[in-house]
Structure 1
Amino acid sequence: MQLPTTFDDLIEEADNLNLYKKLIVQLNKDFLLANLDLGFHEDILPSSLKLLLHETVYKLIQEKFTEYLNLLYIIDVSEKAIKSLSGEDTLKLAEEVSFLILRREWQKVWFRNSY
């Protein structure tokens, strides 16, 4: 499996395989497991998804760091990938972490669909 390198590539691949809604369902499931009350509607536009996820991750980093770490653990985002990010600009960090979250969720959905 070749992992997407941008948000647009990820969404395009999910759309092409008709797995976008399953990606949203997986994201909702893991947010619920992390006790975060944020449910994305299955028909959410990709641009809205990106914006809402970015905003949520930013707020978690700023205000609820323990919940942020718990979310990363539950989703199983690579610790190595997180450590490789620069933490100087929190807004940019939140954007990059949002993409890592979506990419990991995409892996789960893709594997479940393929095997």
Structure 2
Amino acid sequence: MLTVTQPILGIDIGGTNIRAGVMINNELQDIRSIETPSRESKEYILEVIADFISGYLDYDFFAIGIGIPGLIDTENGIVLNLSNIPSFTKVHLKDFLQNRFAKPVFINND
């Protein structure tokens, strides 16, 4: 098993809720959840995600890992289509979050 010594922020973006927690020494801690504003614009949703992540900055996490139930370009970190969030098409989520937080971001289909 891989042992990660630096904190990593994990996020699950779903059509109903956005959940997050910090992985520290292979233990998930400080799990939080907010309602997904699934009917809002992608710009608004991106800001909600960024605000949610900002609540974890005290952990000084090393990277951000995101799971999304949609069609994802994992190499480039682009959400191509997310049926539960209609405005989330062709969203450059990786670039947005890396620019905002200066941390590596990894996105995959959950």
TM-score (norm 1): 0.30
Give the number of the structure whose residues are more often helix, by fraction: 1
- Structure with more relative contact order (C-alpha pairs < 8 Å, separation 6 or more): 1
TM-score (norm 2): 0.31
Give the number of the structure whose residues are more often strand, by fraction: 2
